[in-house]
Amino acid sequence: VALLKEEVLGAMRPSSMKNKSVEVSTPEESLDRFEIKSCHRGLGIPPLAEEYNREGRVITLNFEKPNLYVVVAYVPNSGAGLKRIDYRLDTWERDMRAYIAKLEEEKPVAYLGDMNVAHLDEDIWNPDAKHLEKNAGTTTRERNAFSAMLDGGLVDGFRYFHPSVKGNYTFWSIRARNRPHNRGLRLDYTLVSESMVNGASPVQLADAYIVGDVCADFGDHCPVAMTVKY
């Protein structure tokens, strides 16, 4: 999570470390502009907190200024042959939805990171490809599960501002050398509580965007970011 200028929170996706765990960067020169009440790893619902902390998948920042939770996650990949798809959809998705709902009882939530799913056809460079149902991140089951999360009260920030734009991706296969040709997927998201776009919260989403020119030379993902007004 990168803290930007005063009264603006920029939230970046997890760094692509060797173990793909979540890393959060908070520049020291910006910290005095914000009030962070707490920071914890894993899901804060025992015993889930420790279970998810073992894989380093979740960090939650509790901000008092602006008054919201920022949950940064690296969602489990369904894996080769979709071997982890049941765990990812039946366990992870269930627990994360419950965790976010619990946080929202107190204040708005921004949930962001590598979600490992390309939700819409516009998020896939080749949406008609026959192999999509066999590949992690593009199956109908995964895409429907993401829709269910949005139906539960979260808003895809990028699509809120850019509902039909195509060709804006956050992942490109290095092995296939896809980035120069922009053959990619949008796997990284900024999701926010509905109250952050309908005026019901004092913290409102001002923008959500993709920082496409970052990590072009050494990473297969690029960051996503958001700004909020409060």
Is 114 part of the annotated catalytic residue set? Answer: yes
Q: Which entry of 52, 74, 99, 169 is annotated as an active-site residue?
A: 74
For residues 204 and 226, give the distance between their C-alpha atoms in angstroms, rounded to a whole number: 11
Tell me whether residue 156 is one of the annotated catalytic residues: no
Active-site hit among 52, 114, 119, 169: 114
Over the range 166-179, which residues count as b (16 or more CB within 10 Å of their CB) and which as e? eeebbbbeeeeebb
Catalytic residue among 52, 111, 188, 221: 221
Residue numbers belonging to the annotated binding site for Mg(2+)? 114, 116, 220-221
Contacts of 175 (CB under 8 A, 6+ apart): none
From the annotation, which residues make up the binding site?
A: 114, 116, 220-221
H or E element that contains 154:
strand 154-156
DSSP three-state, residue 50: helix
Does 87 participate in catalysis according to the annotation? Answer: no
Considering only CA atoms, which of 60, 90, 62 is closest in space to residue 76? 90
Q: Do the Cβ atoms of 108 and 102 come closer than 8 Å?
A: no
Query: For residue 204, what are the CA distances in angstroms to 49, 104, 133, 178, 200?
Result: 28, 15, 36, 35, 9
Enzyme catalytic residues: 74, 114, 221
